[in-house]
């Protein structure tokens, strides 16, 4: 999965994680990296949650976790606790204002970009930009649904 970036330097893609299996859409192609699913973080022992995230960091180097604004407060608190315990600046927590399907689409788009060896900072910036595009797509078409589309 990793690619050589230079002499002796191994580059591995950033892992994109979601907080539920329902947010992990299937890949559209064979290059898309699979989603890491951190399901049930609030129900598992803390040491197991920390070990799971540490494994992802060991495998990929960086981790972007997307989670919904609808997740229970205990899940969000556990994410912040795990990141604090690992004392890692290689974990980004991203909670965009998107409905679950929009969040799943965003996660898949970031997984596609992660396969291109983009830096974690570029992926995080792309996540914010893509969120705006997904919001715009939700409001398409720009005319009310009760009217006919404008003629060309």
pLDDT at residue 43 tops 50 = yes
pTM above 0.85, yes or no: no
In the numeric block, which tokens belong to residue 52?
């799971």
Residue 117 — pLDDT band, cuts 50, 70, 90? confident
CA distances from 6 to 10, 11, 58 (A): 7, 9, 20
123: enclosing H helix or E strand = helix 120-138
- 81 or 88: which carries more pLDDT confidence? 81
pLDDT at residue 88 tops 60 = yes
131 contact partners, CB below 8 Å, separation of at least 6: 96, 97, 98, 106
79 contact partners, CB below 8 Å, separation of at least 6: 19, 38, 41, 65, 67, 93
Average pLDDT over residues 47-70: 94
Give the pLDDT of residue 139: 64
Output the average pLDDT for the chain: 85
Q: Which residues of 8-23 are buried (b: 16+ CB within 10 A; e: fewer)?
A: eeeebbbbbbbbbeeb
Give the pLDDT of residue 147: 53
Give the pLDDT of residue 145: 56
Domain boundaries, the chain: 3-123
Residue 4 — pLDDT band, cuts 50, 70, 90? very low
120: enclosing H helix or E strand = helix 120-138
Q: Using an 8 Å Cβ cutoff, are 141 and 112 in contact?
A: no
pLDDT at residue 151 tops 70 = no
Q: What is the DSSP code (8-state) at residue 151? A: P
Give the pLDDT of residue 13: 77
CATH number of 3-123: 3.40.50
């Amino acid at each position: 999965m990793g690619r050589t970036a230079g002499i002796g330097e191994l580059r591995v893609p950033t892992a994109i994680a979601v907080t539920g299996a329902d947010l992990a859409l299937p890949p559209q192609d064979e290059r898309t990296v699979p989603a890491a699913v951190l399901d049930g973080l609030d129900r598992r022992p803390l040491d197991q949650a920390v070990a799971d995230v540490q494994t992802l960091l060991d495998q990929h180097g960086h981790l972007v976790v997307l989670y919904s604004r609808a997740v229970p407060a205990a899940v969000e608190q556990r994410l912040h606790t795990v990141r604090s315990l690992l004392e890692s600046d290689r974990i980004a927590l991203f909670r965009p204002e998107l409905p679950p399907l929009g969040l799943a689409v965003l996660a898949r788009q970031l997984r596609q970009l992660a396969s291109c060896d983009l830096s974690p900072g570029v992926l995080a910036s792309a996540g914010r930009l893509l969120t705006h595009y997904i919001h715009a797509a939700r409001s398409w078409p720009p005319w009310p649904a009760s009217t006919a589309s404008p003629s060309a």
